[in-house]
Structure 1
Amino acid sequence: MLSHPSRRTVRGALVATAAVVAAALPTAPATAQPSPADALKKYNELSEKASQLNQDHLKAKDDLAAKQGELDKAKGDLANAQKAEESLRGHVDVLTESTFEGARFNQISALLVSDSQQDFLNRMSAINILAADNAEALKNLTDAVNAADAATKTANDATEASKKLLGEIEAKKADLDKQLAEAQAQYRSLSNTVKNQLANSGDMSNISVPAGTAGRALQFALDQRGKRYVYGSNGPDTWDCSSLIQAAYRSAGVTIGRTSYAQAAAGRPVSRSEVKAGDIIVYYSSQSHVAMAVDGIRAVHASTEGVPVKIADIDSIGPISVIRRIEG
């Protein structure tokens, strides 16, 4: 009769088998370091996402400012409506008091107290005027009450919308901060050689610009070469991509939106083959990055953190979404 092996014997056999299998498998490096190219690619991806979140955050702030303007107007309309209602209500109260004091007469009473036909006609005319005045005052009061109610609703709606936008801003800011932390951590992981390449200001030579608005805007943008990129910055010593473009055209006397989203709708569209100095080039399907054409080949832009404002090949910056011309 065969005896069953003990649990200890079985367990020992399994351990031995596992050791043999493990020894036969290829071993992976304990710490696989990404190549410099992979590290840079990851940094660019994180930076692009941060740029989009930055534009989202800026747009939410613009939306809040617009909604605050609507709220201020609604409050002003409400105050005016309440003032008009108060004034008209006083007018109606006077007419009501006059009615109780006997100021309102009907045709029969006018006929009974009239001394002559002319006196009757005069009394009837006065009665009609008083009635019309009363009716108009009541209508005006009703209109004022309705206007006050509508203004109250508008003000309440604008207040709620502002609160919602404030919540969205806080959420977008939290997302942006998280994304920035990841991008900055990735930047710190880059080699010094790569960091130095990113920090190079590139072509700093004098570049001729055309006359007119586009030329003045381009000159401003070119003058910012070498300045640092900072998310959400509005200059004058640091920029993000859209603040640079907005400030450039502001220096030329033209007002455009603060975000790359707004700038993607400014001016009129032109094709890639038509690009000339001063055109606004918006990148990525998200339209989260923007540059300004130096000519048909190059553009100046504020790229990302760790990279100064510099000139780059138009097509190397990223996939083009739209190209807009402000002048001409």
Structure 2
Amino acid sequence: MASYPVQRTVRAALAATAVLALAGGMSLPQAVADPVPPNASEALKKYNELSTQAEKLNEEHLRAQDDLSRAEGELDRANRDLTDAQHAQDLLRGQVDLLTEATFEGARFNQLSAILVSDSQQDFLNRMSALGILAGENAEAMDGLTAAVDKANDAARRATEAAGNANKAIEDIGRRKTALDEQITEARDAYRALPESERDALGDEGFTGHVPVPAGQAGQALAFALGERGKPYVYGSNGPDSWDCSSLMQAAYRSVGIAIPRTTYGQATIGRAVSLNEVKAGDLVIYYADQHHVSMAIDGIRAVHASTEGVPVKIQDIESIGPINTIRRVVG
């Protein structure tokens, strides 16, 4: 697992830029603070803990759905192979039956009878050649039938295995969905129990002004994500009115014609890995040892992400979101 130390030179440069901007009367967009500060109430800390657990279960549930889709695809392919093999088996079995019958009918034409009934040496050779061809075709058809039977049996085995995998995935999804529903309910109850002042602080949208983005697909994907600021986080949501962390990233890249996985686990494997020192706009930043959260980098300091229920899509300091696990560059 890679670690990402703070890039002192970049932060120093940003600080210097901030000083110059303030001296010139300019306003500089600030990174949003962590929604759960160290001095938060016990109720807020409990809510944050529960919502983090719910988010993790949500991503695991989505991964289980992906596993089910793959298993169902394997089952469909295996069933198609089985049908094709059985059809080929039936055709070849009929061919073998016809050739066997023809061979039996022509069995009296052995070498001796061929000599006795042949009008000439050439006629004898023609008869023997025909018998050889018939026997060869029969043997070839038998070989083909054997191969078709083996293929059908292999397809049946794979279909059975794929069906078992699909059933296991269905059972896994059921267990995860039950756990997820319980966790979400508990997190929402904890949110409703918060003082109004803390709910208002969680709901702060942060900086909503214009953020310049670079040209190209990564920049346009970032523009999409930034355009969703203020929309709520909902576990398992796929937009367009609400998001979870990974669905926002998927939709952002889909908007520029790039397909990426639905889950944080899948997103943690795409493109190529880069360090925090190399981070560029549009890079996906994956958090925590179990990779259950993701944001999109704006630059080396800030990122935009869907945080958790009760917290809108917003800009936040990259490292304040959580411990960085990996950063993936989707484009370039």
Q: Does residue 326 in structure 1 map to residue 330 in structure 2?
A: yes
Matched length: 294
CA drift at 1:114: 2.1
State the AA in 2 paired with 1:309: V
Partner of 2:309 in structure 1?
Answer: 305
Q: Distance in 1 between matches of 2:111 and 2:47?
A: 91
Asked if the contact 1:98–1:104 (Cα under 8 Å) also holds between the matched residues in 2, the reply is no
* Residue in structure 2 matching 1:207, options 204, 208, 211: 211
Partner of 1:153 in structure 2?
Answer: 157
Q: Distance in 1 between matches of 2:113 and 2:229?
A: 92
CA distances 1:196-221 after superposition (whole Å, capped 9, x unpaired): 00011111001100000110000000
Structure 2 unaligned segments of length 5 or more: list them: 1-38
Partner of 2:100 in structure 1?
Answer: 96
Q: Distance in 2 between matches of 1:308 and 1:221?
A: 12
Asked if the contact 2:287–2:294 (Cα under 8 Å) also holds between the matched residues in 1, the reply is yes
Partner of 2:275 in structure 1?
Answer: 271
Percent of pairs identical after alignment? 60
CA drift at 1:43: 1.4
Asked if the contact 2:114–2:124 (Cα under 8 Å) also holds between the matched residues in 1, the reply is yes
Q: Distance in 1 between matches of 2:131 and 2:259?
A: 61
Partner of 2:202 in structure 1?
Answer: 198
Partner of 1:180 in structure 2?
Answer: 184
State the AA in 2 paired with 1:146: D
Q: Distance in 1 between matches of 2:94 and 2:249?
A: 56
SS in 1 for 2:125: helix
Partner of 1:136 in structure 2?
Answer: 140
CA drift at 1:104: 6.3
Asked if the contact 1:58–1:259 (Cα under 8 Å) also holds between the matched residues in 2, the reply is yes
* Residue in structure 1 matching 2:83, options 75, 79, 84: 79
Q: Distance in 2 between matches of 1:188 and 1:36?
A: 16
Asked if the contact 2:103–2:134 (Cα under 8 Å) also holds between the matched residues in 1, the reply is no
* Residue in structure 1 matching 2:172, options 161, 168, 179: 168
CA RMSD of aligned residues (A): 1.3
Q: Distance in 2 between matches of 1:115 and 1:136?
A: 31
Q: Distance in 1 between matches of 2:44 and 2:311?
A: 12
Question: Normalising by the residue count of structure 2, what TM-score does the alignment of the two structures yield?
Answer: 0.86
Partner of 1:238 in structure 2?
Answer: 242
Asked if the contact 1:203–1:310 (Cα under 8 Å) also holds between the matched residues in 2, the reply is yes
* Residue in structure 2 matching 1:219, options 223, 226, 247: 223
Asked if the contact 1:220–1:251 (Cα under 8 Å) also holds between the matched residues in 2, the reply is yes
Asked if the contact 2:225–2:248 (Cα under 8 Å) also holds between the matched residues in 1, the reply is yes
State the AA in 2 paired with 1:59: R
Instruction: Say which structure, 1 or 2, has more relative contact order (CA 8 Å, 6+ apart).
Output: 2
SS in 2 for 1:238: coil
CA drift at 1:113: 2.4
Asked if the contact 1:36–1:191 (Cα under 8 Å) also holds between the matched residues in 2, the reply is no
* Residue in structure 2 matching 1:258, options 253, 256, 262: 262
CA drift at 1:99: 2.7
CA drift at 1:132: 0.5
SS in 1 for 2:41: helix
